[in-house]
Structure 1
């Protein structure tokens, strides 16, 4: 059951990245490099969450 706090933490970080991506996308001239980095980080978190979920 030690995976549950880890999963929750990953979900919170994923949601935070989602908000950051949305905020950057709303700017008049979004920083495409920043958006790319944020999206890659979000994808890595999603993959980690899937690994934890299937490991149960």
Structure 2
């Protein structure tokens, strides 16, 4: 059960990081100095975080055979 708790903690940490990256992207987009390269990098990082979140969620769900 400890492994599951660790995964849940990691999942929450990733969600927080994902939210912060999204907020940073939105701030850059609203700003006057749109650094498109930085925005692109942050979007890539956000996607990687989302993929990691999905991977952890999938590992926490039991396999259901229909």
TM-score strictly above 0.5: yes
Unpaired runs of 5+ residues, structure 2, are 61-66
How many Å separate the matches in 1 of 2:38 and 2:32? 14
The count of corresponding residues between Structure 1 and Structure 2 is: 56
Gaps of 5+ in 1: none
- With the length of structure 2 as denominator, give the TM-score of the two structures: 0.82
TM-score in terms of structure 1 length: 0.95
Could you say what the CA RMSD is over the residues aligned between the two structures, in angstroms? 0.7
Measure, in 2, the Cα distance between the counterparts of 1:23 and 1:29: 10
Larger Rg: 2
Which 4+ runs in 1 deviate beyond 2 A? Answer: none
